[in-house]
Amino acid sequence: MPDPFKLDLSQRPRRLRRTASLRALVEETVLRPQDFIAPLFVVEGKGAPEEIASMPGVFRLSIADLVKECRALWKLKVQAVALFPKLDAKLKDEEGTQALSEETLVLRAVRAVKKAVPELTVITDVALDPYTTHGHDGVLNAAGDDVENDRTVGILAKMAVLQARAGVDLVAPSDMMDGRVGAIRKTLDAAGFSGTGILAYSAKFNSAYYGPFREAVGSAQAAGTRLLSKATYQMNPANRREALLEATLDAAEGADIVMVKPAGPYLDIIREVRGRTHKPIAAYQVSGEYAQIQAAARLGWLDLARTRHESLIAIKRAGADMILTYFAKDMGQALR
């Protein structure tokens, strides 16, 4: 029997959704293993990997296990890692002096990884929070109530040179101090490391989504609270124009890549920054984003694989060229 109702339509978008092969032909955004940067946590010693309670499937790794993980990622075509150290509390002080030791944990880890997998892109964090007893990203002023900007920048520039000397490909200042990108670029060039790039945490918001990461590196325990406020240097989540200013300043000071962090709650910022710069854009799907997806999936409320993929495709669709994500290895396996 003929259908009694027929629309007279010249445009039927569903035509291109009819089969899997048609859908693939018109797919606009594609994820590849090479799009991902795997954040990895390294600890001293030779013990077994330590799972982070609030980040199921994410571990603190000895240097030996870190090297194994980097080899596994490379085989999956995940070609970049970002290293974060968890130091013994005895090595921390108010000034974060361990950050300037040539034998500090992260530098030994860099040397081991680059020796084992020389083609892998290795990125290191430039900030003092893993090294300070108070958990802040820089050194405190005399009153102890705020981070001292310029003195912190001087330390960060020295950190960047040590990291470049160890063999990193990109240094990543995550501290949000004013002027640190320009100072780091100038110091690297003067030390003969003009080829070492800067991935700047440009629009880094004072987010509630960082809690599991602070547990992972021990900065929360150092401060005695998971609610340490960094509002005087990380950005107000309400501000869009300020994010564009920060990204513009970092690009002008010599950043090779600018970053928005967190990613998922700030897709509008990624899109805005994409419209303002020709620089590559990174976005960090942070620990809280990862943890909430894992938690909901474990409760049976979400499909883990589909939610994971959708969250990452949204970040890339918004304009990110590369994504730091704790799902990097899983995605490398899923996209084979």
Q: Dump pLDDT digits (tens) for 24-43.
A: 999 999 999 999 999 999 99
> Is 220's pLDDT higher than 60?
no
At residue 277, the pLDDT reads 96
pLDDT (tens digit per residue) in 114-145: 999 999 999 999 999 999 999 999 999 999 99
Greater model confidence, 145 or 78: 78
At residue 93, the pLDDT reads 95
Quick check: is 204 catalytic?
yes
pLDDT mean over 180-185: 98
| Residue type present at position 106 | V
Residue 64: φ, ψ to 5°: -60, -45
At residue 1, the pLDDT reads 59
Of 218, 262, 263, 291, nearest in space to 55 by CA: 291
pLDDT (tens digit per residue) in 184-200: 999 999 999 999 999 99
pTM: 0.94
Specify the CATH number of the domain 30-334. 3.20.20.70
Among the listed residues 86, 92, 114, 204, the single catalytic one is 204
Quick check: is 114 catalytic?
no
> Is 278's pLDDT higher than 60?
yes
| Greatest pairwise CA separation for the chain in angstroms | 86
- Give the C-alpha separation, 279 to 253, whole Å: 12
- Give the C-alpha separation, 125 to 320, whole Å: 20
pLDDT mean over 150-159: 98
> Is 218's pLDDT higher than 90?
no
At residue 317, the pLDDT reads 98
Q: Under DSSP, is residue 205 helix (H, G, I), strand (E, B) or coil?
A: strand
| Residue type present at position 251 | A
Question: Where would I find the H helices in the chain?
Answer: 20-25, 63-75, 105-116, 149-166, 180-190, 211-217, 219-223, 241-253, 267-274, 287-298, 304-318, 328-334
Confidence of residue 216 (pLDDT cuts 50, 70, 90): confident
Confidence of residue 66 (pLDDT cuts 50, 70, 90): very high
| Residue type present at position 8 | D
Cβ neighbours of residue 5 closer than 8 Å, sequence gap 6 or more: none
- Give the C-alpha separation, 271 to 332, whole Å: 25
Q: Helices 304-318 and 287-298 meet at what angle, rounded to 10?
A: 150
pLDDT mean over 223-227: 50
Looking at every residue in the chain, the average pLDDT score rounds to 95
> Is 224's pLDDT higher than 90?
no
Cα–Cα separations (whole angstroms), residue 332 to 316, 328, 336: 16, 6, 6
Please report, for the chain, the start and end positions of each structural domain, with discontinuous segments joined by +. 30-334
At residue 223, the pLDDT reads 46
